[in-house]
Amino acid sequence: MSDDNVLVTSVEDGIGRLRLNRPDKRNALNEPLARAILEGMERMDADDAVHVILIEGTDGAFCAGADMGEALAAAEAGDRRFNPSHDAASRVASSEKPTIAKIDGPAYGAGALLACGCDLRVMSDRSKMRFPGSDYGLVVGAADLTPLVGPVLAKELIFTSRVVEAEEALRLGLVNRVVPSEEIEATAVELATQVAAASPLAARWAKQVINAAASGGDAHGLEAQADLVLRGGADHMARFGRATSRIVGRSK
């Protein structure tokens, strides 16, 4: 558990969990929580027992956005660089390991940015997303939103700051799955368990290749490099041997 209890962390069965824990503020991101996320991600990335990182809020709230009181105080003080929400979301997005956002409740502003920084998103049917930066004279989430939904829809969501309900979020490609709120824990854990079962090395390389493909990088070159690094390695041979044994066993 992190300082000030603003973030609760745990590791089990290859799944590292980071739970935002400011329920009285609907998990609004302030500097202590952002700092705790940075520290928690550092620990999870360095822990070989963690194969996938699951980020969640408390019951009924993923993250309502930035702590507006803290942000206003920083703006009034003239600190133009104060942006803990961006720092936290960027740190999540930069992880080499697969990340999953378990969204139950509102994911607004900084919360939407944090969710979009994850690789996969599971959302409950009572959840909503919103990118309200333009209402406050800011740009929040435009860079991460565009690869997910395309430039036309990204412009609509950013310009209008309108609320996106769960089913629309699924239709637009903002999230991978929408389930009833009472099923989101089991669904998120099932997905995380499936990801954790994959080769950690292959998953890291695959994430790099997919991100490069989405951003116009040299995805083919990276994939070829991944093949050279992974093929014939201990992990590949062990997994290949087990898979071959299962195929041979079924054919008998």
How confident is the prediction along the chain (252 residues), in pLDDT tens digits per residue? 445 579 999 999 999 999 999 999 999 999 999 999 999 999 999 999 999 999 999 988 999 998 877 766 666 676 666 688 899 999 999 999 999 999 999 999 999 999 999 999 999 999 999 999 899 888 999 999 999 999 999 999 999 999 999 999 999 999 999 999 999 999 999 999 999 999 999 999 999 999 999 999 999 999 999 999 999 998 898 888 777 766 556 655
Same structural domain for residues 152 and 212? no
53, two tokens:
């990182």
Same structural domain for residues 211 and 155? no
Rounded to the nearest 10°, the torsion over CA 12, 17, 22, 28 is -170
Enclosing domain of residue 208: 200-251
Neighbouring residues of 66: CB distance < 8 A, sequence distance ≥ 6: 28, 29, 30, 84, 85, 109, 110
Same structural domain for residues 10 and 39? yes
Query: For residues 140 and 143, what is the distance between their CA atoms, to the nearest angstrom?
Result: 8
Whether the model clears a pTM of 0.85, i.e. scores above it, the answer is yes
Same structural domain for residues 190 and 99? yes
Q: Around 171, how many Cα atoms within 13 Å sit in the side-chain half-sphere? A: 7
Same structural domain for residues 40 and 144? yes
Same structural domain for residues 230 and 247? yes
Same structural domain for residues 151 and 242? no
Query: For residues 210 and 224, what is the distance between their CA atoms, to the nearest angstrom?
Result: 13
Nearest CA among 143, 110, 111 for reference residue 127: 111
Same structural domain for residues 160 and 236? no
DSSP state of 58: B
Same structural domain for residues 235 and 117? no
3-state secondary structure 104-162: CCEEECHHHHHHHCCCEEEEECCCEEECCHHHHCCCCCHHHHHHHHCHHHHHHHHHHCC
Same structural domain for residues 158 and 212? no
* 3-class secondary structure, 227: helix
